Amino acid sequence: MNRSSVLLAALLLTLPVDPVVQADTTPVSLVADNVSFDQDTGQLTATGNVEVLYQGKVLSADTIRYDEAAEEVTASGNVTLTEPGGSVFLADSVVLSPDLGDGLINGAQLLISGRLQVASSELQRNDDRFTTLHNTVASSCVICETDPTPTWSIRAARITADELKQRIYFEDATFELLGVPVGYFPGISVPDPTVDRANGFLQPNYRDSDIYGTGIKLPYYFVLGDSADLTATPFVTTTGAALLEAEYRRRFVNGSIDLGGVLAVRDGMGGEFRGAVDLNGNFAHQQGFVSDFDINLASDDSFLQQFDYSDSDRLTSVAQVYRVRKDDYVRLSTIGFQSLRENEETGTVPFVLPEFQYNRNFRLDGIGGLFSADANALGIQRRMGLDMIRGGGGLDWRMDGVLGPGLLTSVTASGEVDIYQTWNDDTIDDGMKGRVVPMIAFDFRLPLLKSTAAAQHVIEPITQIIYSDALGSSNLPDEDSLLPEFDELNLFSTNRYPGRDRVETGLRANVGVKYNRYDPDGWHLGMTFGRVIRDEPETGFATGTGLAGRWSDFVGAVSLDFETGMRITNRALFNKQFDVRRNEFALGLESDKTDMEVGYTYLAEDDSNEALGFQPEINEFNFEASHRFHPNWEVSGEWRYDVATKENLRAGAGITYGNECAEFDLSVSRRYTSSANVPASTSISFSLNLAGLGDDGSNEWPSRACALPG
């Protein structure tokens, strides 16, 4: 009979699953090229592309026989058994119970979730739950015909897969890398690859340092319900250091919390109970409000650097509530700092509470232009030094227009009011002080466009004329405007102080020109050049900023962007004698194979800022890059060099190999700088991640390429 007529659904087979308890009359579907039934022996034989479907299971083979008396299903020739959970069995022959749940499979291979392959001489199925394999080799790697040795494998006397607990148990197991035994385990277990989250050890990380010696990090992952987990990582070293790292994560309907930290019970250097903590989270609230926080603390100045956690010299903690809408913005926050600098007195570091900002844009009927109103508050507290509270607000109005043949104009008028209350400072009297800042500005731009077959050119001369004044008290604290900078980004700003405590005053003009060239081949050249001219010399800015005096320094910037992903920028500040005060060069490249950043920074020696004190010359070169020179190989490196002192600051290199089943990462770094608490040191790190053994299943690496036989 032909195949189309041999689809038997509960016609030839009604298989009793448990005759003692209850007969299960679930229909069985059989599809085959040919089917015969011997009434004398009670045997059904199906041949030719046979498939049996029962309760989500699919058994395929060249030949399948069902013996009604023995209650056995025998399959041979290209046998495949697919489970509802995704496991696939491949075998030469099988003998199964009628429900396909129990039985013996010879010359078996098991593929779990399309990732973990297990080959064995014999496989047994019991209770429709346990799958036991004998004399096994397990791996998630591609096996090549010309090179059958996988990147990694586990050879075990027996492997048992428990479908109910979703775990795989290895007995008398040897772990091999590239065919070489590197570890033995009498018994271990790993989660089934179909499991997203399960308790168990994660893959270790090897670390070595001149400071803390050689150590191993061995993480253990705990599942704490559907929305929380904990990873605890013991870290012990040859110097006697004993640390415990931990990361707790919790997810909610409207947000999340992540709590991480490390505690050194012994640091291997004579210290005890040192550590650090990092707590962050965010939550969405009604009416569009969002709250978030990021808290960072360390037990002392040197802990984070000594154990390669961070090179930060100051830790910042922030908690805030904010809302952003089309026409308004509101934020309330608090900020704390912990200084890790050896020469900075912790008591002088400020604590910010509150920091409040509100802005709203609106229009008024009968009056053109756009209005913007703001209100703000800032509170500063210290254990030693100035305490203050500042509150204020302002209103500004802007109108844009076009004059004549394309002259773009705008006029801006604004007024700001600030009230200060100060305490505990020798240079500022205690009490309340106030200031009013009126400002008016005119902006003129004339963009000129020229298009040719070779390129499109846009040149835009810009002139801004500004007048502002500060009326009221002049002896006010400065908490947020200590570090003004002058570059192409704020060349056309009405106030170049970064905060609100200081404002530019007087009559002045910002003059400059912008030029852009757009090439048909896809690259773009941009240039900006200009300076500030004042009616009266400016005395508020330090000389080193380039903004002091009647004539500011020149500021210039050049950028080149290419379709290949390369970007080159150079920003410079130089005086009227064209002596360079600051120069910053950067070259970046992002492509499929290469990511690179090259930079050079020069800052001239400066002693003009009383708040900062003497600042030595900075003349540094930095390089950071990674390159995938082969689909499965990537190298990376970094280097920072002090050109002025001709000394290295930091250097590092790494190499990574990855394929469909593994990632090996080896890196080494050297920090050449030292302080009173942290000497120069070299650190080495090695990590190994294996796909199919408790990982998250993500892998950016291509599969190993197999050479053609012969």
Mean of the pLDDT values across residues 186-200?
84
Q: What's the whole-number average pLDDT of the chain?
A: 89
At residue 194 the predicted structure's pLDDT band, cuts being 50, 70 and 90, is confident
pLDDT given for residue 710 in this prediction: 58
Query: How many residues does the structure list for the chain?
Result: 710
In the chain, the amino acid numbered 650 is: R
**Quick check: 342 and 676 in contact, CB under 8 A?**
yes
Q: What does the pLDDT look like over 253-275, one tens digit per residue? A: 999 999 999 999 999 999 999 99
Q: Which of 566, 443, 449, 570 is nearest to 516 (CA)?
A: 449
pLDDT at 42: 80
Contact between residue 508 and residue 535 where contact means Cβ atoms under 8 Å apart: yes
User: Which of these, 84, 99, 15, 2, lies nearest to 49 by C-alpha position?
Assistant: 2
Window from 306-315, 470-479, 622-631, 700-709 with minimum mean pLDDT: 700-709
Tell me which amino acid residue 290 is: V
Helix (H, G, I), strand (E, B) or coil at 72: strand
Q: What is the pLDDT of residue 561?
A: 96
pLDDT over 70 at 696, yes or no: no
The whole-number pLDDT of residue 21 equals 35
Q: How far is CA 204 from CA 207, 249, 686, in A?
A: 10, 20, 9
* Highest-pLDDT range among 37-46, 581-590, 670-679: 581-590
Residue range 328-350: mean pLDDT, rounded: 91
User: With bands split at pLDDT 50, 70 and 90, how would you rate the model's confidence at 602?
Assistant: very high
Both tokens of 698, joined, read 């993500």
**pLDDT of 11 strictly over 50:** no
Q: Would you say residue 681 has pLDDT above 60? A: yes
List CB contacts of 54: < 8 A, sequence separation 6 or more: 15, 26, 28, 29, 99, 100
- List, as one string, the DSSP characters of 390-457: EEEEEEEEEEEEEETTTEEEEEEEEEEEEEEEEES-SSS-SEEEEEEEEEEEEEEE--EEEE-SS-EE
Question: pLDDT (tens digit, 9 = 90+) per residue, 47-90?
Answer: 988 988 888 888 899 999 988 888 888 988 888 888 877 788 88
At 699 the pLDDT is 65
Using CA atoms, how far apart are residues 301 and 495, in angstroms rounded to an integer? Answer: 36
Burial class of residue 555, CB neighbours in 10 A (0-12, 13-18, 19+): buried
- Of residues 653 and 674, more confidence is placed in 653
Ranked by mean pLDDT, which of 121-135, 580-594, 678-692 comes out on top?
A: 580-594
Higher pLDDT, 611 or 327: 327
Going by their DSSP bridges, the two strands 103-106 and 122-126 should be labelled as antiparallel
Residue-level pLDDT at 1: 39
Q: How confident is the model at residue 495 (pLDDT cuts 50, 70, 90)?
A: very high
Read off the pLDDT band of 155 (50, 70, 90).
very high
Is 57:17 a contact under the CB 8 Å cutoff? no
Distances (CA, A) of 662 to 156, 362, 658, 697: 20, 57, 6, 11
| Confidence at 595, pLDDT banded by 50, 70, 90 | very high
pTM of the model: 0.83
- 122 pairs with which residues across the strands? 106, 134
Is the confidence at residue 294, as pLDDT, over 70?
Answer: yes
Domain ranges of the chain: 3-195, 405-616
